[in-house]
Amino acid sequence: MDISTITPEQLGSRLAALRSHFNSGVTRPYAARRKALLALREALKEHEEDLLAAMHKDMHKPRFEAYLGDIGLVHTEITEALKNLKAWIGPERSSTPLALQVASSEVRPEPLGVVLIMAPWNYPVQLVLTPLVGALAAGNCAVVKPSNEAPATGAMVEKVIAEAFAPEHVMVVQGAGREVGPKLIEPYRFDHIFFTGSPAVGRKIMAMAAPHLTPVTLELGGKSPAIVDASANVEQAAARIAWSRYFNAGQTCIAADHALVHQSIMDRFLTALARCMDKFYGKDPKESPNFARLVNDKRFNTVRSYLDHGKVYIGGASDVLERYIAPTVLTDVPLDSPPMQEEIFGPVLPVIPWNEREEVLALIQRNPHPLASYVFSSNRSEQRYFTERIAFGGGCINHCMLQFGNAELTFGGVGNSGMGRYHGKATFDLFSNHKGIVHASTLIDHGLQYPPYTRLKERFLRLALH
């Protein structure tokens, strides 16, 4: 459904159908939730080749990267949900304090209702469907908005969802993101909004949701550092940081945005990076089937402008017609220049030297909280220092991006890089109302809470509350 062509009456009718479907209670039973997850898994398998082809068409995404970063991670989430669904939806027993006896207590997770999921273009399958898995497991109905910047993939995602679900269970809205606010978020109240994208747009989403008091989860980004100290395995650090930076042509919110490398190993690190580039992409990365392209002209022009700041140590070639920028390493980058102040989101890696670890903290604190942070060190004291002193959403020691692939680890940002956590059970919890209930006994009624209040009752009260 294209939001630019549908009338407000038609849109309102479709949303009312979702609300009615949810209110009927048909999405709540365990069997219904399991059936929904299985249907999504089957539709995803059925259209796997079409989705891989669509992602290649949209941004020349290599087949391996498209499966690893998009389709495969959705399967991981579905498997995790199916394995644990019965335990997740059951009531959780809680202890009951003496002051509330005789009674028992429990927390019941219940679905929120109709939720809105808005996804970006860089991982156009995974960032739509991973939140949807949790929303379905929690028993909700959903409106899904794929990115219009990856149109071929967005169309295939809509086809997958249409085959897996009735339109009153999961509805897909297509079109420009700027139309979603005034036509969808401002007029209608959702029970939760899940948005992945930039901090600037995230602020607008929050503002539009505020009049309805709709809770919002924001998965944003930031300048995620890779810190390499003098004790690190240099070859390994270079390979893992390069993989992170150039995977999906650098269009990854948790990629190593820049490398902060101890001065004593700087030359060795740069030499190791050059060897990695040759090994990964050959002498001409433009001809490599393993390297993606920038998603649109705007992103190309922005990333291309970063090459004018600092010295190009590796790469630097570009082709506007293909939206191609070679895997690039920059040195001597001014700290007040755009590539050190803006999230790069492209295949450009500034490498900055440091001598004292306090310099690293000062460099990172020049920008808002990073979404991720990566520490390469063989020294446990140094690992602990950097992971404790830097506020970030999640990360790795001696690797990059692996935290995103573990469905049992919560994922999310802090401060400017986002709010709210998801993946695995955390997504289920995010889309659930955790209802606390006390079951009071009808067999015994001690009467201590009733008037008249006596000194003896007060003594019992004080004893029970301490």
Please write the tens of the pLDDT for every residue from 334-343: 999 999 999 9
Query: Could you tell me the two tokens for 225?
Result: 């550092």
Q: How confident is the model at residue 446 (pLDDT cuts 50, 70, 90)?
A: confident
Distance from C-alpha of 377 to C-alpha of 57, rounded to nearest angstrom: 39
Distance from C-alpha of 37 to C-alpha of 118, rounded to nearest angstrom: 19
pLDDT above 90: percentage of residues in the chain: 86
> 437 CB contacts (<8 Å, ≥6 apart)?
105, 106, 107, 108
**pLDDT value at 4 more than 80:** no
State the pLDDT at residue 466. 78
Domains of the chain as residue ranges with CATH: 8-220+418-434 (3.40.605.10), 225-409 (3.40.309.10)
Please write the tens of the pLDDT for every residue from 113-140: 999 999 999 999 999 999 999 999 999 9
Q: How confident is the model at residue 465 (pLDDT cuts 50, 70, 90)?
A: confident
State the pLDDT at residue 100. 78
Q: How confident is the model at residue 3 (pLDDT cuts 50, 70, 90)?
A: confident
Question: Which neighbouring-strand residues pair with 331?
Answer: 311
**pLDDT value at 159 more than 90:** yes
pLDDT above 70: percentage of residues in the chain: 100
Please write the tens of the pLDDT for every residue from 16-27: 999 999 999 999
How many Cα atoms occupy the beta-carbon half-sphere of 141 within 13 Å?
24
Q: For 407-422, what is the mean pLDDT?
A: 93
**Burial (CB count within 10 angstroms: exposed 0-12, middle 13-18, buried 19+), residue 360:** buried
State the pLDDT at residue 185. 93
Query: Could you tell me the two tokens for 453?
Result: 């209040």
State the pLDDT at residue 305. 97
Phi-psi region of 250 (alpha: psi -120 to 50; beta: other; left: phi over 0): left
Q: For 167-176, what is the mean pLDDT?
A: 94
**Locus of tokens 């895997």:** 327
Question: What are the start-end ranges of the E strands in 185-323?
Answer: 192-196, 216-219, 225-228, 258-262, 311-314, 318-319
Distance from C-alpha of 290 to C-alpha of 295, rounded to nearest angstrom: 16
Q: What is the DSSP letter of 186?
A: T
Residue 44's H or E segment, with its range, is: helix 30-46
The mean predicted confidence, pLDDT, of the chain is: 94
The catalytic residue among 253, 276, 396, 400 is: 253
Query: Does residue 253 have an active-site annotation?
Result: yes
The catalytic residue among 219, 343, 396, 400 is: 219
Q: How confident is the model at residue 99 (pLDDT cuts 50, 70, 90)?
A: confident
Please write the tens of the pLDDT for every residue from 279-336: 999 999 999 999 999 999 999 999 999 999 999 999 999 999 999 999 999 999 999 9
State the pLDDT at residue 464. 81
Distance from C-alpha of 304 to C-alpha of 312, rounded to nearest angstrom: 12
| Planar angle of CA 405, 408, 414, nearest 5 degrees | 75
**Burial (CB count within 10 angstroms: exposed 0-12, middle 13-18, buried 19+), residue 4:** exposed
> 230 CB contacts (<8 Å, ≥6 apart)?
262, 264, 265
Q: How confident is the model at residue 176 (pLDDT cuts 50, 70, 90)?
A: confident
